[in-house]
Amino acid sequence: MARIALLLLALLLSAPALLGGRGALTATLFLTEFLSDGRWRPLTAVTPAPVVRALPAAAAGRPIPTDLFTRPSVSRPPALVLVHGLAAAGKDDARLREAAALLARAGWDVAVPTVEGLTRLRLRPEDADAVVAAVQALRRDGAPAVGILAVSVGAGPALLAASEPVLAPSVSAVLTLGGYASAQELLRYTLTGAYAFGAARGRGMPDEAAIAQFAIANAELMDEAGRRLVANRDPAMVDALLGALPPASQHLLSVLSPERRAGRIRAPLFLVHGRDDPAVPYSETLRLARAAELAGRRAQVAIVGALGHVEPGAGSRWVDLWRLWGTFYAFAVTSGGRAP
């Protein structure tokens, strides 16, 4: 912790001088508070507490529970949709609300919708509707620009939403933290602990309780082929078991894979991942960046030891913090501009 503190202090002193402007200082204060897990609160100390109100949002004729975090400002600030990962309480998750408030202190109006599938381990393509609805609600509310920040598997619906033609002109930038590219590869890792993309490869330990919960939440997919896949822990068997799934299940996995839609996302992409992420391997961010590159889209990538999954990590180095700071600052500047 002491080493992280010293590195953050160095950033605090050097970043504004190097790049200039209030935005650079705000980015530094934000990351100092975030990476210290609230032990240091420099941004909270110099900014007013955000106000929270309901933001009317709807999709397909049904309301999408959404809260808006704002702070007093002379002019209307840019807006941000914060897309949660697995969270049973949805927008009311305590850590999510802390993050939204901190982002509001950093200068955004922050909309937080509940993504229903992510409250019960049952992600479906229609979960992207919650993100679309939140972006559209912010535009109706007068937001001059809208960025998207998605954490963990929330990257799935966030990136699917950003690729929709109806939404693409309204999104200024997208940042994922601990996100994924391929639903098939995420299943491989969840069930067997194995991951591989280029030189990034390794093996973790499957979480049996989470796997059991996933099977219950997706009971309609647990036919004989689905049960065989979920029961398997051998990485070498995964491809054959995926190939034996019914066409509808294979199609669902394909649709839920953001790598297949990367070429349709017009907004600049910023991809951040912890090198030792225990929940989603960092190979997934590398996979997504490669898919964007092949589709002619550039992504700014930061693989860092300063993060675990979506929380501060233990293996921080100066270069990691500088890379993380640079990516976040670039996202802050880009998301505050006009949509591309």
pLDDT at 170 over 60: yes
The CB density around residue 230, as the number of other CB atoms within 10 Å, is 18
Domain count, the chain: 2
Residues 293 and 147 in one domain: yes
What pLDDT digit, counting tens, does each position of 202-230 carry?
999 999 999 999 999 999 999 999 999 99
Residues 74 and 53 in one domain: yes
Residues 123 and 262 in one domain: yes
Tokens of 315: 């293996």
> What range defines the domain where residue 212 resides?
183-254
CATH number at residue 144: 3.40.50.1820
Residues 139 and 192 in one domain: no
pLDDT band (50, 70, 90) for residue 325: confident
Residues 24 and 124 in one domain: yes
At 37 the three-state DSSP class reads: coil
Euclidean distance between CA atoms 214 and 220, whole angstroms: 11
**Per the domain annotation, does 286 fall within a domain?**
yes
Residues 73 and 129 in one domain: yes
pLDDT band (50, 70, 90) for residue 305: confident
**Per the domain annotation, does 271 fall within a domain?**
yes
Residues 145 and 246 in one domain: no
What pLDDT digit, counting tens, does each position of 329-338 carry?
999 999 987 5
Contact 148, 158 (CB under 8 A): yes
Q: So what's the pLDDT on residue 12?
A: 43
**Per the domain annotation, does 109 fall within a domain?**
yes
The CB density around residue 12, as the number of other CB atoms within 10 Å, is 17
Contact 305, 7 (CB under 8 A): no
Contact 6, 34 (CB under 8 A): no
Euclidean distance between CA atoms 225 and 206, whole angstroms: 20
Residues 219 and 286 in one domain: no
Euclidean distance between CA atoms 108 and 146, whole angstroms: 9
**Per the domain annotation, does 84 fall within a domain?**
yes
Euclidean distance between CA atoms 208 and 286, whole angstroms: 26
pLDDT at 315 over 80: no
Residues 163 and 82 in one domain: yes
pLDDT at 10 over 50: no
Q: So what's the pLDDT on residue 153?
A: 97
Q: Which position has the token pair 């920040």?
A: 149
Contact 189, 195 (CB under 8 A): yes
pLDDT at 2 over 80: no
The CB density around residue 136, as the number of other CB atoms within 10 Å, is 17
**Per the domain annotation, does 263 fall within a domain?**
yes
pLDDT band (50, 70, 90) for residue 298: confident
Q: Would you give the DSSP letter of residue 50?
A: P
Distance between alpha carbon 212 and the CA centroid of its chain, in Å? Answer: 24
pLDDT at 179 over 90: yes
Euclidean distance between CA atoms 91 and 85, whole angstroms: 10
Q: Which position has the token pair 């299943």?
A: 187
Which residue did the predictor score with more confidence, 287 or 22? Answer: 287
Residues 124 and 265 in one domain: yes
Residues 287 and 160 in one domain: yes
**Per the domain annotation, does 244 fall within a domain?**
yes
Instruction: Point out the domain boundary residue: 227, 254, 281.
Output: 254
pLDDT at 98 over 80: yes
List % helix, strand, coil for the chain (3-state, nearest 5).
50, 15, 30
Q: So what's the pLDDT on residue 293?
A: 96
Q: Which of 8-12, 257-261, 281-285 has the lowest mean pLDDT?
A: 8-12
What are the φ/ψ torsions at residue 89 (nearest 5 degrees)?
-90, 0
Task: Name the nearest CA neighbour of 187 among 209, 208, 211.
Answer: 211
For the segment 74-103, the average pLDDT, to the nearest whole number, is 95
pLDDT at 282 over 90: yes
Contact 198, 285 (CB under 8 A): no
Task: Name the nearest CA neighbour of 113 among 152, 87, 142.
Answer: 87
At 114 the three-state DSSP class reads: coil
Residues 8 and 153 in one domain: yes
Task: Name the nearest CA neighbour of 273 among 300, 299, 298, 310.
Answer: 310
Greatest Cα pair distance in the chain:
62
Task: Name the nearest CA neighbour of 31 among 8, 7, 10.
Answer: 8
Instruction: Point out the domain boundary residue: 220, 238, 254.
Output: 254
**Per the domain annotation, does 340 fall within a domain?**
no
Instruction: Point out the domain boundary residue: 194, 228, 254.
Output: 254
Q: So what's the pLDDT on residue 20?
A: 44
For the segment 160-178, the average pLDDT, to the nearest whole number, is 94
